[in-house]
Amino acid sequence: MLTISAPRAVVDGRMTGPVTVAVEGGVITSVTREDEAAAAAADIALPDGVLTAGLVDIQINGAFGVDFAAADDAQWDLVASRLPSTGVTSFQPTYITAPLGDLIPGLALAEAVRQRQEGGPYARILGVHLEGPFLSPSRHGVHEKRFLAEPTADAVDRILAAPAAEMLTMVTLAPELPGALAAVRRFADGGIRVSVGHTDATAAQITAAADEGATLVTHIFNAQRGLAHREPGVPGATMADRRFYCGLIADLHHVAGEVCLLVWRGARGRVVLVTDAIAAAGMPDGKYTLSGIPVVLEDGVPRNADGTIAGSALTLDLAVRNMISLGLPEAQVIEAASRVPADALGRTDVGRIAVGAKADLVWWSEGFHPRRTWVDGREVTAGAESAPALPAARETLAVSP
């Protein structure tokens, strides 16, 4: 058995401490609060900072120079081994729009990677997120329009009958497309989370999607019908409807700080911090690709040739610091990057410090920079010297007086 103590920890949605966590067989077996004697006797007594559950990123296309759509085994290992240095212990690799014949084999590939990495020094793969091809032609963003498709019964059949179909855990689609509501119901009945995104749907159409089983919105405010006072659009409908979790890219470029606060208050307890990271995350300015699309990272923002923002260069620990810098409670922000995304996927075994949960833990500095990370009770990174060098990014909100 291993015991880890910390003067402060995020447990049950609040900051508390001291806390001692006992781990056996990769699982948390006890959580002792406010017991200084137990803390002092722990195998690992953290002297300061904060202990939290590992972070869960449910939308990540790549990082550290690697694009999942074209990654080989060594590149998958590179990303999975470096994500813990950003506090991430579980992630959902995301494939963007491409022909189904290209996307479907990616499920089996991700399954093979997950099996090979099991027990190693890696963040765990939870499943695959397909962001497309069932998206609106008028809200496709950086996704290649020529590969967009309607979610016909045959297309859904191909996905659900594919080898390793059980690896599919989330699908983003536009609910106003022909056949989309039936597709939402079929995916939801199969245990696959459905997120509305890249959509020109009205609030009424969003509600209809929720009635069929949709439970998330992909990168709220981006690539979707906007918020208006008579037509709530996608942001208004999903913030108001408590059936939805709201994915938020908190790099302060995709969504301004003031609007991040609006989402936080409008969807209280349902905000899921995501990165939507691409190969440029954790890398210097330069040229990268996103599913074969040339992208240039400049001043922290990746864009394609016509200037459209193409994913992000964000890491989830930076998203946490950005949201805290807006004056939001530290414990609640951590939950938005750990427990809430886990709950959005129906995973009660990750994203929390609780008895029976996987022993995925992060020790943070007082300024919320990850110092040490454990996956299944195994330490997978230690010290700031093991973290990747990240480009400078905004961490404070500048508001004109």
How many other C-beta atoms lie within 10 A of the C-beta of residue 243?
Answer: 15
CB 170 within 8 A of CB 132: no
Q: Please, what is the end-to-end C-alpha distance for the chain in angstroms? A: 54
Q: Is 233 helix (H, G, I), strand (E, B) or coil?
A: helix
Residue 57, phi then psi, degrees to nearest 5: -105, 115
CA distance 257 to 322: 9
What are the structure tokens assigned to 79, written together?
């990303």
CA distance 348 to 174: 28
What are the structure tokens assigned to 60, written together?
């990540």
CA distance 158 to 152: 10
Instruction: Look at residues 57, 132, 65, 122 and name the one whose alpha carbon lies nearest to residue 102.
Output: 132
Q: For residue 14, list its beta bridge partners.
A: 11
- The DSSP string of 178-227 is TTHHHHHHHHHHTT-EEEE-SB---HHHHHHHHHHT--EESSTTSSB---
Cα 316–Cα 318–Cα 319 angle in degrees, nearest 5: 65
The active-site residue, picked from 276, 317, 343, 360, is 276
CA distance 204 to 217: 15
CB 246 within 8 A of CB 263: yes
What are the structure tokens assigned to 167, written together?
């690896």
The angle that helices 257-266 and 316-325 make with each other, rounded to 10 degrees, is 90
Instruction: Look at residues 271, 213, 210 and name the one whose alpha carbon lies nearest to residue 239.
Output: 271
Residue 276 appears among annotated catalytic residues: yes
Active site residues: 276
